[in-house]
């Protein structure tokens, strides 16, 4: 079992090699400049690598990029093997990164919260409190169903 530092180092190398190869070495039109490698993770035994990627475009471009990556997997693995110089080159698995969709969802939720806050702020402007301005009891006041209120204000 390899240590975590070695797995991290190999993951960084795989990310760089795959990104460079996608940019310069592969002529597949489905893998144009709209595919970005976001992260790479390698298992502790250095046998399997998961490569996360994003595709800027619609669902058709995402499906085309996934098919292109799957067909170029062997060429990318051999490029990683040459660059790494290790006994066993890890198998590559390509997974679409959900980060852009998650970020978009969070932004939508934050926009809704800002709109609701603005609406509440607008409705609350010019309104008075339901009770007194100071709702706390003070020392020396009685709590006999309002008897202290009449005596304290006189």
What share of the chain has pLDDT > 90, as a percent?
25
Residue 2: band (very low, low, confident or very high) from pLDDT cuts 50, 70, 90? low
User: Is 0.75 topped by the overall pTM?
Assistant: no
Strand, coil or helix: 135:
coil
Taking a C-beta distance cutoff of 8 angstroms, is the pair 45, 2 a contact? yes
For residue 67, pLDDT beyond 80: yes
Pull the structure tokens for residue 79: 């490029």
pLDDT at 117: 92
Q: How far is CA 94 from CA 73, 131, 146, in A?
A: 9, 61, 72
Q: How far is CA 8 from CA 22, 30, 46, 50, 61, in A?
A: 21, 29, 10, 12, 30
- Measured CA to CA, the distance from residue 128 to residue 9 in angstroms comes to 62
Phi–psi pair at 49, nearest 5 degrees: -125, 135
For residue 118, pLDDT beyond 70: yes
- Give the contacts of 52 (CB within 8 A, at least 6 positions apart): 37, 38, 39, 40, 41, 95, 96, 97
- Measured CA to CA, the distance from residue 47 to residue 32 in angstroms comes to 28
């Amino acid at each position: 079992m390899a240590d975590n530092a070695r797995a991290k180092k190999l993951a960084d190398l795989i990310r760089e090699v795959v990104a460079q190869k996608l940019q310069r070495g592969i002529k597949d039109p489905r893998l144009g400049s709209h595919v970005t490698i976001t992260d790479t993770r390698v298992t502790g035994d250095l046998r399997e690598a998961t490569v996360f990627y994003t595709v800027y475009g619609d669902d058709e471009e995402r499906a085309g990029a996934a098919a292109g990556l799957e067909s170029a997997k062997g060429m990318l693995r051999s490029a990683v093997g040459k660059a790494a110089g290790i006994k066993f080159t890890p198998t590559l698995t390509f997974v679409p990164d959900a980060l852009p969709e998650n970020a978009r969802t969070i932004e939508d939720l934050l926009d809704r919260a800002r709109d609701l806050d603005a609406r509440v702020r607008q409705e609350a402007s010019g309104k008075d409190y339901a009770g007194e301005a100071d709702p706390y009891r003070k020392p020396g006041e009685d709590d006999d169903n309002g008897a202290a209120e009449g005596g304290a204000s006189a």
